[in-house]
Chain A
């Protein structure tokens, strides 16, 4: 072997089996990666508006906007990390390489929490949209929650069997989704946008500082999908080029559309209406507010079907994402291999699918009775995702400090020099902001504090016991890419 040879980013390391080796066929292009990501991110606006309005009230567009800036920072971090380390695992992979296995586990475990809550929230917000066809779906917490649980159970079953999902479905759904959202924004601006009214609705309903920060934290739920795109890296050739490109496309699409929808929503209804009657189906509220009866007659059923479909795809994506992540963590000895066990007939990781579906169902249980279940789900999501994003930013900074020579096909610009190392300002600010917001959630939100901490403690116990059983050190450092030959 040439002694100067180094694997290029994106090169897979093959394991020879006698004279044969297996090779991976990667076929996804930028449109498919973008669609998979937008399918996740674009779906969350269908509930994020309402969940943010619950606390941020009039400042909902501001909270979404500030969260959008943090989203840009996080997306840039993921772009650099994924281009450098094109493995499934997202922030867990970054943390494993940037620090050690323990950090990788913590990031991965936090990410798993956010995935599970995404499954619960996406499923929880399908019935309100379908309430257009049968009112009890929206009005009755018992029927609505039962339906959500039925949806999770159904998806669990089809994922155990392993029903095919094609990228054409994702691309088609993303196109229809973007078209509908852009149409709503354009029509909304033409028919409803009234700057003085909007201004007063924002100013007259300005939240407390604490609620504004909580609103920003909850707004992070609007931008789920970064991890999905990071996972797509293993399925495309030249991930170092395609994933950053798809991420940048997504940043632009998401920010433009979300800004438009949030402004239109507060033009269409008062913050109180957005936070109450339409909190779980805010986009339906926008469609219902247009002053033209024939238009609402077309849009209301269209939004009901579209939102239901998009949210179903997003729930499914969450379930697939978490099972992949669990498998990835298991393959790196961060989680017991039982979670990586594959069904002999269906060839799917049935144990992790069943386990995480059950946890998602348990998170939905309070929704039968508790009025603030929706908000609690949102804060729990923020707990997990912000912790994972903190690790992502910190890992990129650590890799810049410790391994500046590693190939970085996509390198974040706007760097400052600290002790001779180039450090991206976006990652520094992203780390600081996500850490501060996470701490505020920890302090002010009892539900997410106790459930989140319990989750992390349970995970650490599992990790400790598993590593001891395997006689592996807790803080073992994973090898460099360059060392993997």
Chain B
């Protein structure tokens, strides 16, 4: 399988760091382009273009960290900060706009009421993605 454009949505967990390392390894094979996005979700009581400084700062710090990891892997990535009502549709929309042929998401192990829980964003992306999706599940002991 060849991937020419890989979209990696990040939220700031260790799973993202592992996911970007994997993306870099995949990209090297096919000289692919990697796009990393952080989505700031805006509640409906605020306008969509509301600038929430702490959230933007947090997103930038996360993207900075991801850039450092990519540098360590000798890869070039393009990072972007998005603002949207929901992360899921924003990620799918970004994949469509970029023409991504792979979405690679790091998934942290989470439980809810004792059951493994993927959240709402991952199922949305799996259901609506216009391309292949790889979930990188972080191993925990």
Contact = CB atoms under 8 A, between A and B. Distances in A.
Interface of A: 12, 15, 17-18, 20-27, 88, 159, 162, 164-166, 231, 234-235, 319-320, 323-324, 327-328, 331, 340, 342, 344, 346-349, 353
Contacts of B81: 17, 20-23
Nearest to B59: A22
Contacts of A234: 47-49
Contacts of A165: 44
Most buried by A among B43, B56, B86: B43
A27 B128 CA distance: 13
Nearest to B43: A162
B55 A27 contact: no
Given A20-B60, A20-B81, A25 B39 contact: yes
A20 B78 CA distance: 9
B53 to A, nearest CB: 9
Majority SS at the chain B contact face: mixed
Contact of B43 (A15, A17, A340, A347): A347
B55 A347 contact: yes
A370 B40 CA distance: 47
Most buried by A among B47, B56, B82: B47
B63 interface: yes
Interface stretch (B23-31, B88-96, B99-107): B88-96
B52 interface: yes
B39 to A, nearest CB: 7
Nearest to A232: B48
A295 B125 CA distance: 44
Given A23-B80, A27-B90, A347-B55, A319 B85 contact: no
- Pairs A-B, 4 closest by C-beta atoms: A25-B84, A25-B90, A22-B81, A88-B47
Nearest to B49: A24
Interface residues of B, number: 32
Contacts of A231: 47
B85 A27 contact: yes
A235 B80 contact: no
B50 A25 contact: no
A165 B90 CA distance: 16
B45 interface: yes
A27 B87 CA distance: 11
Given A27-B85, A342-B52, A347-B55, A20 B80 contact: yes
Interface string B68-81: 00000000000111
Contact of A25 (B44, B45, B54, B93): B93
B138 interface: no
B46 interface: yes
